[in-house]
């Protein structure tokens, strides 16, 4: 059903599907889902494999944001660039002062890895990742610079 709605000709419906999955991603990475729910890493892997690239593209930036340690001292120009690209997410901006847990960051890495794996079969998704390679590289550089935060 998600595949049908995300590939709709109605732009508002596509935007609603993307918004819904962003909220599901926040709920999952925030640890607010019970373990008995079907909201897990495989859920997002299936979405990336089965749906078009626009849904993967809309989830890429929130995933990259969850990879970051998210403390004020770690902000760089690439972090500001990432924040500017997601102006519509005001709720997440209010929690910028708090650091993300290592568990949240590891889950985001695994989900992002499934997005990259899905791009091997989906040329449009691969093109989207290639188009945002500078942003992905910036986030990875921040991860390397803040490697001591994983302890």
Distance of CA 33 to the CA centre of its chain: 17
Q: Nearest to residue 139, comparing CAs of 117, 121, 118, 112?
A: 112
19-23: long-range contacts at Cβ-Cβ below 8 A with a sequence spacing of 24 or more? 21/47, 21/55, 21/58, 21/59, 22/58, 22/59, 22/62, 22/89
Query: How confident is the model at residue 98, as a pLDDT?
Result: 58
pLDDT along the chain (151 residues), means of 10: 63 82 86 65 84 82 85 48 53 52 86 91 89 92 81 66
CA distance linking residue 58 with residue 139, whole number of Å: 17
The per-residue pLDDT for range 6-20, each reduced to its tens digit, is: 666 777 877 888 888
CA distances from 115 to 36, 46, 109, 111, 125 (A): 24, 10, 10, 6, 8
Pick from 127, 110, 116, 137: nearest CA to 54: 127
pTM, rounded to two decimals: 0.71
CA angle 85, 56, 79 (to 5 degrees): 30
Instruction: In whole angstroms, give the CA distance from residue 22 to residue 72.
Output: 23
Could you give phi then psi for residue 100, rounded to 5 degrees? Answer: -80, 150
């Amino acid at each position: 059903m998600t595949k049908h709605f995300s590939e709709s000709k109605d732009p508002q419906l596509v935007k609603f599907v993307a918004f819904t999955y962003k909220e599901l991603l926040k709920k999952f990475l925030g640890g607010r889902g019970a373990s008995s729910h079907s909201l897990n890493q495989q859920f997002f892997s299936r979405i990336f494999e089965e749906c078009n690239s626009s849904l993967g593209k809309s989830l890429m930036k929130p995933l990259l944001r969850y990879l970051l340690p998210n403390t004020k001292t770690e902000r760089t120009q690439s972090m500001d660039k990432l924040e500017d690209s997601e102006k519509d997410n005001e709720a997440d901006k209010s929690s910028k002062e708090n650091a993300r847990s290592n568990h949240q960051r590891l889950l985001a890495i695994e989900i992002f890895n499934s997005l990259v794996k899905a791009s091997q079969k989906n040329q449009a998704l691969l093109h989207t990742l290639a188009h945002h390679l500078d942003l992905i590289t910036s986030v990875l550089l921040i991860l390397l610079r803040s490697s001591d935060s994983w302890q």
